[in-house]
Amino acid sequence: MNQGVSAIRWGGSYLELLDQRLLPLDETYVRCSNVAEVVDAIREMIVRGAPAIGISAAYGVVLGADERYRNQPENWREGLLEDVGALAQSRPTAVNLFWALDRMKAVIDSLPDGESPVARLEQEALAIHEEDVAANQRMGELGAQLMQGEQPFAVITHCNTGSLATGGYGTALGVIRSAYKAGLITRVFADETRPWLQGARLTAWELVQEGIPAALIADSAAAHVMKSGQVKWVIVGADRITANGDVANKIGTYSLAVLARYHGVKFMVVAPTSTIDMQLATGQDIPIEERTQQELLKLRDMQLAPERAQAFNPVFDVTPAELIDAIVTEKGVILNPDPAKMAEHMG
């Protein structure tokens, strides 16, 4: 399968990230050569999307290991664990970040002090990246199978969940790609996704590149589109899923779920099991990141609101499990998720 654009490129001694703040007008890669640069890339939205953040952080640990071992070959571990802590602080909501860092810490703990950790950590980071692509392709197949048996229909998606947000292929957008290839989807309605416009700048860009019929809509147009009757599924990704099936995702996802239930539209969440946090009982336990007011008050350098206006800018919301028809992971499909089904799915 075509994996789509490569937003994350590992160069052995550096990490290159496609600057998603500049798309679709400018395709520029930012080179990161140390941990601080990877932290900044995650925090400043050069790379975004929960799986992509986790993969980038894993490569960041490799860069940190190389620097720490070269400077302190007999005592690299303490400094590297500080680097892991800095990466963990870069974004608070996406659990894939902490999942990937936990895998890297397990490798760190298994290595002797006097031995270079670089090769083994690089191997683990590459494995995380490759596993993500394989998981996305599997989820694409499972999600498409879930929609079979219906007449071809339109779908709505929110934010960006494609190759740009993952190691490749995509989560929700991966399902859309697979379902379109199978002749199930006629058209994709992509929410613009304020305030960073990931739907307008990124999802629309990926769909155009794939040749998938798509229409960009304002976030506030979703109810009108659902009312038309042509939309049968809303398909979204996730940044964290709790033990009861509640889902944190880009702000605006919750309102889509409420609208979908009212209009009889099914609601699908697509995410790898690395996004599931069984340590949190419900969505009320998820830390919701708030970003600067300026993201709402300005569009790049253009002032959108009065100079003294205030803004509230939560960048995620939580969709309760009772509004979700299916959660699709690489391990299978959870219909109408609840705590028992989540526990069984996660073994």
Which residues are marked as active site? 239
Are 238 and 328 in contact by the 8 Å Cβ rule? The answer is no
Structural tokens at position 198: 């990931």
CA distances from 302 to 19, 199, 295, 298, 306 (A): 20, 20, 11, 5, 11
Phi, psi dihedrals of residue 309, rounded to the nearest 5°: -70, 150
Angle subtended at Cα 262 by Cα 176 and Cα 196, rounded to the nearest 5 degrees: 50
CA distances from 321 to 46, 82, 213, 245, 342 (A): 31, 36, 30, 5, 11
148 CB neighbour count, 10 Å cutoff = 10
d(CA 242, CA 24): 33
Are 55 and 99 in contact by the 8 Å Cβ rule? The answer is no
Are 145 and 175 in contact by the 8 Å Cβ rule? The answer is no
CA distances from 103 to 75, 97, 164, 199 (A): 21, 10, 22, 31
